[in-house]
Structure 1
Amino acid sequence: MLNKAYVACGVAVLLSACGGAQNLDPNGLTSAGSSLYKAATLSDSDIASLANESCKSSDAESTIAPANSAYSKRLTKVMKGFGDMTLNGQKINYKVYMTKDVNAWAMGNGCVRVYSGLMDMMNDDELRGVIGHEMGHVALGHSKKAMQTAYAVSAARTAAGAASPGVAALSNSQLGDITEKFINAQFSQTQESAADDYSFDLLKQKSMNQKGLVTAFQKLAQLDGGKSSMMSSHPSSSSRAQHIQDRIAKGS
């Protein structure tokens, strides 16, 4: 169980890292701590509702490939490899964002978004490896924590936040801020490695080519000297490629 005093202290550290703690008065910090406490106690249904609204917000701000486009048809073919699996019990809803950015992400409501820039540089097996990795963050609970953090930081920066957990009290600007923070969230080394292994195991379970995960990392390693924000830079993409290659060699 969370201690409110500990959470209030935690938000001070969090905001300090963002360069904003020095601008908060005691009343604002208390409010921020309360917002972080609410975020940390969001239920799974709250997270699903927040993910629904965040995904809608992101879709509204993005150019989505038409269903009859080559990108959408290709993603449909790629996703068929996963069969009828669900994500946290939610039916997977996937779309392509038309942008040169190299990215993909998934949310706890089954929302999966893949950027055309990523599709342009990856073959189908590599895309499945990356998508499996992003779905791993959801299945392993990492995305829930990222959403809680995005909610807390957005609410804290307004020195108030929603009156109660959920999305009902969030303004459009708050929701947009939460969505942006979630999409740009950086996962820990442990979380990244766990998502890598989840993708490997999922590909193996679905009888798909695990080698695609290796070559996907190798391609990502070439972006910005291996420091691309896509799938983080710690551990490095090259070392992660080697880890998957070692698992393939061991047959495990």
Structure 2
Amino acid sequence: MIKFFPMLLAVLYGLALYRFSVWRTSRELDTNSTELADTKLKALTDQMARALDIERIKVHIYEIEPVNGLAAQDGRIFITRGFYNRYRAGDVSAEEMASVIAHELGHVALGHSRRRMIDFSGQNAMRTALAMILGRFIPFIGPYLASFAMSLLAARLSRADEFEADAYASALLVKSGIGTAPQKSLFEKLEHLTGARGAAIPAWIMSHPKTHVRIAAIEANEAKWQGAAK
């Protein structure tokens, strides 16, 4: 029993981190966000709401500068102030912003937001346990190896979620009459908008798939849907 005690501690540590992370994220979003009020974007979200047969899609502005969209564990959709400012400046079209909202809706509908929080706790528990085990056999280096291994696993899971959310967004955009052109054109802009330089980073380290791979997946889905419709 004693030899399993470190593993038990690791699990309890992961659960504690999970609960703290949920509380901290929820409090941060509550404090630093307001509901989006934009006539043009509302018209597009209303189109998507009709396609989903729901009354409305509520979107919030999260008051931070990095360009991003996110889906909270409680199902709320957020666009950062930095992203909204780029839209207001004309760098991003209303339809492209709608594609971001559709993507975040995909994360909610497919359970990614909640699962990512659970994965976070499990990954931290596994990271701690693995660091303890490897630390006994490979002092000093073991914990770093454990952290690197878990980071690779988290990146792989994240990429899978992104592909699924992309596919959901594509289907919703097509059904609502917006189409996937804005989704694909936004991907072409993202590296510039976010300041990321994904081309220099190996794909297996990245948390998001590379742009050309995401666009190719969208086009493959479109071809499949068109073939099924004939």
Give the TM-score range, shorter chain: 0.5 to 0.7
TM-score normalised by structure 2 residue count: 0.61
Q: 1:199 aligned to 149, 164, 169, which one?
A: 169
Q: Are 1:93 and 1:110, in contact at CA under 8 Å, matched by a contact in 2?
A: no
TM-score normalised by structure 1 residue count: 0.56
For structure 2, which runs of at least 5 residues remain unmatched after alignment? 130-153, 201-205
| 2:42 corresponds to | 76
Cα separation, partners in 2 of 1:242 and 1:145, compared to 1, 3 Å: same
Residue type of the partner of 2:9?
Answer: S
CA deviation after TM superposition for structure 1 residue 157, in Å? 9.7
Q: 1:226 aligned to 184, 198, 201, which one?
A: 198
Q: Are 1:211 and 1:245, in contact at CA under 8 Å, matched by a contact in 2?
A: no
Cα separation, partners in 2 of 1:245 and 1:155, compared to 1, 3 Å: closer
CA deviation after TM superposition for structure 1 residue 82, in Å? 1.8
Say whether 1:105 aligns with 2:77. no
Once residues 134 and 227 of structure 1 are traced to their aligned partners in structure 2, the CA distance between those partners, rounded to angstroms, is 24
Once residues 82 and 93 of structure 2 are traced to their aligned partners in structure 1, the CA distance between those partners, rounded to angstroms, is 12
- The structure where helix makes up a greater share of residues is 2
Say whether 1:32 aligns with 2:16. no
Identity of aligned residues (%): 26
CA RMSD of aligned residues (A): 4.1
Matches within 5 A, 1:175-186: none
Matches within 5 A, 1:1-252: 27=5, 29-34=7-12, 56-62=26-32, 64-65=33-34, 72-74=37-39, 75-83=41-49, 85=52, 92-119=57-84, 120=86, 121-152=91-122, 187-222=157-192, 223-226=195-198, 234-248=208-222, 252=226
CA deviation after TM superposition for structure 1 residue 54, in Å? 5.8
Once residues 66 and 190 of structure 2 are traced to their aligned partners in structure 1, the CA distance between those partners, rounded to angstroms, is 12
Number of residue pairs aligned between Structure 1 and Structure 2: 184
CA deviation after TM superposition for structure 1 residue 211, in Å? 0.6
Kindly name which structure, 1 or 2, has the bigger radius of gyration based on alpha carbons: 2
